[in-house]
Structure 1
């Protein structure tokens, strides 16, 4: 279903979405308790994983459990907290607010990842959310994959490249991409020339300023923590235990990359999703773009939502980015009603079907729909 973009009553759409916002209210201690419960699930998976990671072949199962803890920490905790979803909960600990989460030494316990939290905050919360589907959207898959889409490589090889990429995408793409966007923002404030891309030798060279920052803030802390410190904790059990934990950690990293690729990348990439050649104007057009530039996955219980990282409510998330996790289930039917009222397509399908559609877009078999002008 395509949309008659100009005929949508954007002013009324803005009023309808704003009415939904007013019903949400301020976050409560119950919202925070739900986050804590979800956080415990992720921690439990990680602890169970490491408890058997030193024993071969149980370390293979351990790797899977560790990977669940890894993706949960990012999608289920860091993501909503860094959007400020719980900032206004009465007497909430500062470490669960946007101001305090993963700041300084707390990065180790709050969210130790390849991605630097301030870089994620800038690239995702600002650049992606407020430029969705535009050329300035850093996560515009069609633009980012032009090198492969327009290549002369056979189609089967393009798919293989994407599958390999999915197993390490946070390392080779997302960490350097988010950091590069943050560095450009800093340069812009200083009035300096910005870099076009992180795909430059100096951006990876630890002897250059950009590359040094990538290694010292992204790569070395995570490598040191995940693949050196944690395995060495098992040294009293012998060197075999250390090696088994290292193997489990490497396998868990591969699994976590695949899992995060699965639930993140297809949200805005398929031949039924729109991109926009001009910037939007006003709240109504902004809301419209969040809906038609996004797709949801199957939703349901907390367990289903947990495995999707609550990214299966991506439409609602883009309309209400600072919404606590437990509100998405109740907001979804209301948003659906508004979409039906305005004859706006509300897309929701299996994440695996959407993955196939995304892969087709990435290799150049399909294209995004385009709104050429408002």
Structure 2
């Protein structure tokens, strides 16, 4: 007697699920050798890689200065003409906001990110301000990377806790774990989507700043053998809440939303107000842009999470591949727009490499994945974002690896 339709469907699902090698069946020792061998194909980090960084930095500054320059031109035209209609003003204002927001994201993703990983530290005679030791440290925060996030806190949260606990419960960026308050709630599904889309426009303020502070404070507590666990504290009347406002929110908020608009006061009070509104819109766009390129890297129904720490370098490499996804890659400008986070698999395998390396490494990593029958995920960032949002509202779940 032939198989029933239900049995055929179950077998088809099983075949699809096991199209690629199972976690337990991967030769992790050989995978380690193959991944490590990639380093031998790369030239030492040098001046060419540093010049690539400087190019990305120039592009980011070009967007930033163009945005603020457009505000100045818009304000001057308004002053001389006695006012512009909304049909003229707002399209130009939105363009200015997009230029500023693109520069904002570029400063974080294309410049700060690799530098704080120490990617250019080995470049001979590199200026110290581009090294991990000096960049954004102390008062240089106001020059190198002023954001809602304190550089040292993000460096620990991202470089250590995220990269070396990817997909584990210790991973501070485990989206499914972080959104349990919404997933487990009785909130209607349509309202969950509304909440997530609203959150995407404010996530650095609402999530990244307090979360990086929490992770850093808990590290200090462990180092001092203290038992207390720091949680989110937005209330400035509490110790951690006060630190959050004084060292994270206020430095950025005052400079970005008070000092910068006041620079336009020679063009009149209306110009100051217009600058404030445009900068506020730019901040919302920057949050959306950074959410789009950062969050979907490790969060969707085809991404794995792990219940235990990795036990070997080969297993660590395997998790970076199974727990990450790339977006579409190509030209420098396309990669720049993605913050080079479209090479997330390569970045997680080699986090301290310059951005310029990932374009060269990608075909080699793809071949290694094919050799070990591992899925190399690469899709449009927009498709991956929609998949991530489905995970955030509880419509889908991360995959679990059997036996760990």
TM-score, normalising length: structure 2: 0.90
Counterpart for residue 21 of structure 1? 39
Give the C-alpha shift of residue 279 in structure 1. 1.1
User: Which one has a bigger Cα radius of gyration?
Assistant: 2
Take 2:39 and 2:151, find their aligned partners in 1: how far apart are those partners?
A: 27
Render the CA deviation track for 1:295-341: whole Å, top value 9, x for unaligned.
Answer: 00000000110110000000000001011111111100000000000
Any conservation in 2 of the 1:277–1:372 contact (CA below 8 Å)? no
Corresponding residue number in structure 2 for 1:121: 155
Deviation for aligned residue 1:71: 0.3
Distance 1:186 1:338 in 2: 39
Q: How far apart are 1:290 and its partner, in Å?
A: 0.2
Matches within 5 A, 1:80-95: 80-95=114-129
Moved more, 78-87 or 364-373: 364-373
Q: Distance in 1 between matches of 2:189 and 2:225?
A: 43
SS at match of 1:21: helix
Instruction: Report the Cα distance in structure 2 between the residues aligned to 1:358 and 1:204, rounded to whole angstroms.
Output: 26
Is the contact made by 1:276 and 1:373 (CA closer than 8 Å) also made in structure 2?
no
1:338 maps to 368
Cα offsets for 1:107-133 (capped at 9, x unmatched): 111101001000011000000000000
Structure-1 residue corresponding to 2:270: 240
Instruction: Return the match for 1:135 from 150, 165, 169.
Output: 169
Contact 1:299–1:305 at 8 Å: present in 2 too? yes
Q: What residue in structure 2 maps to residue 44 of structure 1? A: 62
SS of the equivalent of 1:267 reads: helix
1:313 corresponds in structure 2 to 343
Query: Which of 175, 188, 192 lines up with 2:226 in the alignment?
Result: 192
Give the unaligned 5+ runs of structure 2.
Answer: 1-16, 75-88
Aligned to 1:207: 237
Q: Can you give the 5+ residue segments of structure 1 that lack an aligned partner in the other structure?
A: none
Partners of 1:287 and 1:60 lie apart in 2 by 42
Q: Distance in 1 between matches of 2:192 and 2:201?
A: 15
- Following TM superposition, the consecutive aligned residue runs of length 4 or more in structure 1 with deviations greater than 6 angstroms are none
Which one of 201, 217, 221 corresponds to residue 167 of structure 1?
201
TM-score by length of 1: 0.97
1:63 positional shift: 0.6
Q: Is the 8 A contact 1:123 1:138 kept in 2?
A: yes
**Contact residue 53 and residue 60 of structure 1 kept, 8 A:** no
Residue 263 in structure 1 maps to residue 263 in structure 2: no
Picking from 371, 387, 404, the partner of 1:357 is 387
1: CA distance between counterparts of 2:270 and 2:295?
A: 37
Equivalence for 2:52: 34
Q: CA RMSD in A?
A: 1.1
Distance in 2 of aligned mates of 1:96 and 1:331? 23
Aligned to 2:111: 77
2:322 to 267, 292, 302: 292
1:194 deviates by 3.7
Indicate conservation of the 8 Å contact 1:278/1:372, yes or no: no
- SS in structure 1 opposite 2:119? coil
The Cα offsets for residues 166-188 of structure 1, whole Å up to 9 and x where unpaired, read as 00000000111011101111111
CA drift at 1:235 = 0.6
Say which of 242, 245, 250 aligns to 1:220: 250
Q: CA offset at residue 106 of structure 1?
A: 1.1
Post-superposition shift, 1:196? 5.6
Task: Determine the C-alpha separation between the residues in 2 that align with 1:310 and 1:44.
Answer: 18
Deviations 1:271-293 (Å, cap 9, x if unpaired)? 10000011111110000000000
The residue that corresponds to 1:251 in the other structure is: 281
- Secondary structure in structure 1 of the residue aligned to 2:305: strand
Equivalences, count? 370
